[in-house]
Amino acid sequence: MPTLSEIRDPFPEMDCRPWPRRLIAAPAWRALVEKLAAGELSLLGLWGEAACVHMAVLEPSPYSVVVASLAAEDGGFPSVGRRHPPAIRLERAIHDLFGLRAVDALDDRPWLDHGRWPVRAPLGAKIPALASPPAYAFLPSVGQGLSQIPVGPVHAGIIEPGHFRFTTGGETLVRLEARLGYTHKGVEGLMAGATLDHAAKLAARCSGDSTVAYSLAFAQAVEAAQGLAPPPRAVWIRALMAELERIANHLGDFGAICNDAAFALMLAHCSVLREHVLRACASCFGHRLMMDAIVPGGVRVDGAEHAEIILRGLVATIRLALPQLAALYDNTASLQDRTVGAGILKPELARRFACGGFVGRASGRSFDARRDLAYAPYDKLSFDVPVLQEGDVNARVWIRIREIEQSLCLIDQILTETPSGDSYAETATPQAGEGLAIVEGFRGDILVWTRVGSDGAVERCHLRDPSWFQWPLLEAVVEGNIVADFPLCNKSFNCSYSGHDL
């Protein structure tokens, strides 16, 4: 098998920063696919345009990102998913949005397109919609005594819509197949032609619980495309917001997982702590979720003068309460009975899907974009990346707890080291270019690729949520568990519907 250099080097570099993009030929594309299938590379993203497809892959030891593009001849491209299953749903989304066909694909069913759009391939050929689209064909399960339980897309709780089709043998789950796309918002279409200010607001709303991470990834991609360096103070304030967002979400998940195991007391305590975080964010950055605070060029909200006092008090409050809650969780037999050994994600499957965040790290995959792709200011900060091997619900709980502890240490360092000065730099003259950013959100790595025109408007932008590589794994881990444990497994993953559905 050729080396990665032998595959990419014969092709000229396109101006994509900080990782150049290469327009390669079909044989080189297939060679990259074979390396993905062999586990030598990890898939970071697969997305389309009207007449071509793009693929980003991660090379380990040391970590490096490679971006390749292929012209879609006759509206098709060699399937990645046929040899590397993590790409299957990405290929289906490309077909729905652009009409490009993955040749010899294992699954050609629609994914984002539920037959409700006025046209098919809305970002490509804009083909008239079918008058009577066929019903979605769920995968069959064959065997004696099997039954199906359809759940959703509307659920009993205040959550986003998604349909889950369970196949069971008695109480045991034999198969789960999810159908998503109900929260599709047309973000990639809305991005095209948008001003940077408007595009930043769209990015911030891809998945509301990750608004800081998405805003940061979009800002970094635009800044890379335009060769713009935000002020040092802005870089540190962005990291402060990102760690606050991580803590708030991990606390919420910790309580919610315990609540799904009928231990509502933990939900109450964690909800109080999460509320402390959100109120501190509102006081310091003008919004409980810190939405629209991060923009290309820096930050719009620099924090109140009393921010350090508020945030140091917040850190002290969580540091005092968290060990007690962790001990309560660990010493409650009814909780351990439900979480230990439930929903096991095997390490080899986590690696194959390049599964990020607490899901991947609970199953032995230690990748963290803050450390391994070392963007500022994390390259100057000291922190550990907790990793466990068990891969069950319990491990995903403990990774969250340990990450909260690390985020508290990071906030201490940031508050001490943040420099003074400006926190926003206006772009003097719009510059055309392409940029790619990979940022560590609380669920894992978020990828944003964008092309900015000479007028300063966005020509094209793709945003990839960590959940693209986590939803399929949730389907895998519930097999063999009982139906009543699905909510527990589901909450321990806490995949994003909205971020996945674009």
Tens-digit pLDDT profile for residues 179-211: 999 999 999 999 999 999 999 999 999 999 999
Judged on CB neighbours under 10 Å (0-12, 13-18, 19+), 462 is buried
Asked whether the CA dihedral 116, 118, 122, 128 is positive or negative, the reply is: positive
Most confident stretch, 115-129, 242-256, 417-431: 242-256
Q: What is the pLDDT of residue 6?
A: 79
For the chain, give every domain's residue range. 4-128, 197-465
Left (φ > 0), alpha (ψ -120 to 50) or beta: where does 194 sit? beta
If you average pLDDT over every residue of the chain, what do you get?
Answer: 94
Q: What is the mean pLDDT of residues 382-409?
A: 98
pLDDT at 305 over 80: no
425 Cβ contact partners less than 8 Å away, ≥ 6 residues apart: 228, 229, 230, 231, 234, 297, 298
Q: What is the pLDDT of residue 167?
A: 93
Contact assessment for residue 49 and residue 460, using Cβ atoms and an 8 Å cutoff: yes
Q: What is the pLDDT of residue 428?
A: 66
Longest dimension (CA), the chain: 70
156 Cβ contact partners less than 8 Å away, ≥ 6 residues apart: none
Angstrom distance (rounded) from CA 234 to CA 424 = 7
- If you classify domain 197-465 with CATH, what class do you get? mainly alpha
| Architecture of the domain delimited by 4-128 | 2-Layer Sandwich (3.30)
Q: What is the pLDDT of residue 438?
A: 98
Angstrom distance (rounded) from CA 75 to CA 88 = 17
Please give the full DSSP string across 301-339, using - where no structure is assigned: ----TTHHHHHHHHHHHHHHHHHHHHHHHHT-HHHHHHH
pLDDT tens track for 459-496: 999 999 999 999 999 999 999 999 999 999 999 999 99
Percent of the chain's residues with pLDDT above 70: 99
pLDDT tens track for 147-175: 999 998 988 777 889 999 999 999 999 99
Residue closest to 451 by CA, chosen among 218, 295, 266: 218
Which range (24-33, 303-312, 446-455) has the least confidence? Answer: 303-312
Q: The tokens of 171 are what?
A: 């109480």
Q: The tokens of 4 are what?
A: 């990665």
Q: What is the mean pLDDT of residues 257-282?
A: 96
Amino acid at 448: V
Q: The tokens of 298 are what?
A: 């820096």
